[in-house]
Amino acid sequence: MLPPARPAPPVPATGTRRGGALTPGASLSSARVAWRHSLRFRLAATYSLLALALIMLISLGVVSLLLSRMDQQFNARLNDRAETLAEAFTNPGAGLGKTAGGVGAYTMLIDGDGKVYATSTALNDYKDAPFPFQKPGNVMIQNTPVRAVERKVGLVGTLWVGLPETELIAARQSAVSALLAALICTPLILLLVGWWVGRRALSGLQGAANLADQIDPTRSLATLPLPAREDEVHRLLSAINRLLVRIEAGQAREKQLLGQIVHELGAPLTVLKASLRRAEERTDDPEVRRAALVADELTFTTQDLMQLARGQLELKLAWHYIPARTLQERLERLVPGTTFAGDWTGGILCDPDRLTQAIRNLLANARRAAGPNGSVTLTLKETADRLTFTVRDSGPGLPPELGERIFEPFVSGAGSSGLGLSVSRQIAAMHGGGLSGGTHPQGGAEFVLTIPGAALGDED
């Protein structure tokens, strides 16, 4: 009596279950897009930069106009005071009722020899001294910036009038400071507002992306919900839904065609197997025996294709305890030229047909990669709780751009159908083990298939 098979440990999955089906992409739905790659951030940053440039141009124009007007008003006040004083000295009666000086005004009278003979109170230090300034304009008086003009007053001489620019300079500095503060604070405010607006505007697109990650391609492709507003997001999701409908229709046609092909191959293979079995019993020819084993492998492949056409690639195991030598002999007949290494004296608890199919796929791929003159080695290593089958070839190794995709159905780096490695990994997983592959540091591809050991006691 055969020993009972130990239950295989659960195979880790990266997805979630929805309606009983594994959704491999569901784990991506919770992934957050890096802020620097986010569409919301790019839109907010673009909006902020454009708004900042526009605000900067407008602000510079407004501040320049404001400063220009302030300068014009200052010059008008200065000229008005100078005209009033000049008229008062020239025609004393015409200046009645007009304010000649004002708080903070500076005045000096200069004779024809360039000597100051009369000043306002603040400029008494310059009285009876040569005129200290070469020409009117901006001068410094007692550490105060002053803007001055001159007027001829007939026989009196020259009238020099100045106004301090302290308030004008303070107003300029206040305007420039306000402009700089606006240019610093505005981008931050615009960026936050743009981020919030972008988040609100693109919320439908983000929800659709999360739902798209949860679509199980092995089942019916559900369409994405459309937002109520018929905007660009609505148009994009509508186009994606139409694409999903076309994909689902194409998958249905492919499955139907695959099922028809498998059905057409099944009947001839059944007849071929029966004929080869009878010929093997009559002749005991090793070539006929090998052909019969190849026909068995083709039958397994057609069964896998039929299950794939039905939308699932699920295999069933028939557990047996066999000597490792039996497995070695079957593999020697299926893939001639294989070098066997390691310890093949123990026993293996497995489905012999399925395990043979898994290792045979690895050896066939290795032989195809190594070529007729290359080497293919299968090494069996047994530990207390695990059996490890290592297949290594002398070929060029695995394409680095494929990575783990090499185990996906219909993905191949050697021109084959791409089903072999996918089936082999599933068989290893159903036995409670796994299959990994890569390029060996010394060259060539290396695949490692592991299954649990039998761990039989004396009673078993």
pLDDT digits (tens, 9 = 90+) for 71-84: 899 889 989 888 88
- How many angstroms separate the CA atoms of 64 and 84, rounded? 30
Tokens of 225: 């919900």
**Are residues 253 and 378 located together in one domain of the fold?**
no
**Are residues 381 and 296 located together in one domain of the fold?**
no
- Which of residues 94 and 9 earns the better pLDDT score? 94
pLDDT score of 452: 93
Tell me whether residue 347 is exposed, middle or buried, using C-beta atoms within 10 angstroms of its C-beta: 0 to 12, 13 to 18, 19 or more.
middle
CA angle 251, 256, 258 (to 5 degrees): 95
pLDDT score of 89: 80
Last-in-domain residue among 287, 314, 341: 314
- How many angstroms separate the CA atoms of 355 and 423, rounded? 10
**Are residues 336 and 291 located together in one domain of the fold?**
no
DSSP H helical ranges for 335-432: 352-370, 420-430
Which residues does residue 379 pair with via DSSP β-bridges, in sequence order? 341, 390
Looking at the structure of the chain, the number of domains it has is 2
**Are residues 291 and 336 located together in one domain of the fold?**
no
Model confidence band, residue 260 (pLDDT cutoffs 50, 70, 90): confident
Half-sphere exposure of residue 182: CA atoms within 13 angstroms, side-chain side: 18
State the average pLDDT over residues 138-146.
86
State the average pLDDT over residues 16-24.
37
**Are residues 458 and 337 located together in one domain of the fold?**
yes
State the average pLDDT over residues 19-34.
43
Half-sphere exposure of residue 216: CA atoms within 13 angstroms, side-chain side: 15
- Which of residues 306 and 46 earns the better pLDDT score? 46
Share of the chain above pLDDT 90, in %: 16
**Are residues 376 and 434 located together in one domain of the fold?**
yes
Q: What is the CATH number of the domain that holds 235?
A: 1.10.287
Does a structural domain hold residue 286? Answer: yes
Does a structural domain hold residue 19? Answer: no
**Are residues 329 and 273 located together in one domain of the fold?**
no
State the average pLDDT over residues 128-146.
85
**Are residues 442 and 415 located together in one domain of the fold?**
yes
Please list the helix, strand and coil fractions of the chain in percent, rounded to the nearest 5, in that order: 50, 15, 30
Does a structural domain hold residue 190? Answer: no
State the average pLDDT over residues 5-10.
39
Share of the chain above pLDDT 70, in %: 75
- How many angstroms separate the CA atoms of 259 and 304, rounded? 11
Q: Mean pLDDT for the chain?
A: 78
Q: At residue 389, what is the residue type? A: F
- How many angstroms separate the CA atoms of 359 and 117, rounded? 118
Q: Quote the domain boundaries for residue 287.
A: 204-314
Does a structural domain hold residue 214? Answer: yes
DSSP H or E segment with residue 222: none
Span 422-448, pLDDT tens digits? 888 989 999 999 999 988 888 889 999
pLDDT score of 204: 64
pLDDT score of 32: 53
Does a structural domain hold residue 77? Answer: no
State the average pLDDT over residues 408-430.
74
**Are residues 460 and 327 located together in one domain of the fold?**
yes
CA angle 77, 92, 117 (to 5 degrees): 75
- Which of residues 25 and 160 earns the better pLDDT score? 160
Q: What is the CATH number of the domain that holds 381?
A: 3.30.565.10
Last-in-domain residue among 261, 293, 314: 314
Asked whether the predicted pLDDT for residue 101 surpasses 60, the reply is no
**Are residues 288 and 326 located together in one domain of the fold?**
no
Tell which residue, 203, 207, 217, 224, has the closest CA to residue 18: 217
Whole-prediction pTM: 0.43
Does a structural domain hold residue 431? Answer: yes
Does a structural domain hold residue 189? Answer: no
Last-in-domain residue among 314, 331, 364: 314
pLDDT score of 85: 86
| Residue recorded with tokens 């199919």 | 357
Does a structural domain hold residue 383? Answer: yes
State the average pLDDT over residues 124-150.
86
**Are residues 346 and 295 located together in one domain of the fold?**
no
Residue pair 338/332 in contact (Cβ under 8 Å)? The answer is yes
Asked whether the predicted pLDDT for residue 339 surpasses 90, the reply is yes
**Are residues 449 and 336 located together in one domain of the fold?**
yes
Which residues does residue 347 pair with via DSSP β-bridges, in sequence order? 323
